[in-house]
Structure 1
Amino acid sequence: MKPLDRDMSVLRHIVSYCDQIEQTTEHFGNTYESFSASQIYRNAAALCILQIGELVGKLTDAFRAQNSIIPWRQIKAMRNIVAHSYGTVDPETTWEIICIDIPRLKNYCLLILTGSSAENP
């Protein structure tokens, strides 16, 4: 698979996990109270965040360099926190990621996938 094809495939998978986070918030309720009260909700979101971080590691260095407006390292670092914290990830931080970072990341990936300008996610 060509590097560009691989990057586009990875972006489609990232968008899929962003969609799953959106579906999870629709299912459980789009409030911090419902999020913090449900371990199942928190775990479902954390798994998607973990998968997104894993996928970011599969993007080519060239792609990450060309799209440096997205904090790829921080996304990967969050994956490591989720993977190795054994349930101690701060719910407020995770909620902020769900509400702010995931929609921005999804929008940015969709702009790239559709060939639109991706200057400002």
Structure 2
Amino acid sequence: MPSDLVLIVDIRQSATLIGDYVAGLDQRGFAADWMRRDATAFRLLLIGEAVTKLSPEIKTKLPDIDWRGMISLRHRLAHDYGSANFSVLWEIVSHDVPRLSEALASL
């Protein structure tokens, strides 16, 4: 099992890459660019997978983060990608991912 530090570095790297993927896009541009959508969805899936392995101590230190939501999103992307709502993904990458990255940097 990877350590919390390794998992946090992985999550932050995925968050940074997501930021790179969506830089310069608005919601309409994101919806129209299947390659960036797929790359972003893959990184969200990786974040959700890493979150499943984080220790309860880390999650307790950041109670305002929706850990369960990230895991649920991971399951949806892994098992039912076709049902992914790209408007919802846009909201996640626009608001939740930067907030997550900032929170993890505070540890």
Residue-by-residue CA offset, 1:4-40 (whole Å, 9 max, x unaligned): x8112211110000000011112xx321111011111
| Aligned counterparts of 2:58 and 2:99: Cα–Cα separation in 1 | 18
Structure label with greater radius of gyration: 1
Structure-1 separation of matches of 2:63 and 2:46: 20
> Aligned residue for 1:22?
19
Q: Aligned with 1:70: secondary structure?
A: coil
In the alignment, residue 12 of structure 1 is paired with which amino acid?
A: V
For this pair of structures, how many residues does the alignment match? 107
Deviations 1:53-110 (A, max 9, x none): 0000110123223332211111111111111113220010000000000000000011
**1, 4, 9: which one pairs with 1:7?**
4
Match of residue 42 from structure 2:
47
Q: Return the alpha-carbon distance in structure 2 between the equivalents of residues 62 and 110 of structure 1.
A: 16
Query: Partner of 1:66 in structure 2?
Result: 61
Q: CA deviation at 1:41?
A: 1.3
Counterpart position of 1:104 = 99
Any gaps of 5 or more consecutive residues in structure 1? Answer: 113-121
User: Percent identity at matched positions?
Assistant: 30
CA RMSD of aligned residues (A): 1.6
SS in 2 for 1:87: helix
With normalisation by structure 2, the TM-score equals 0.91
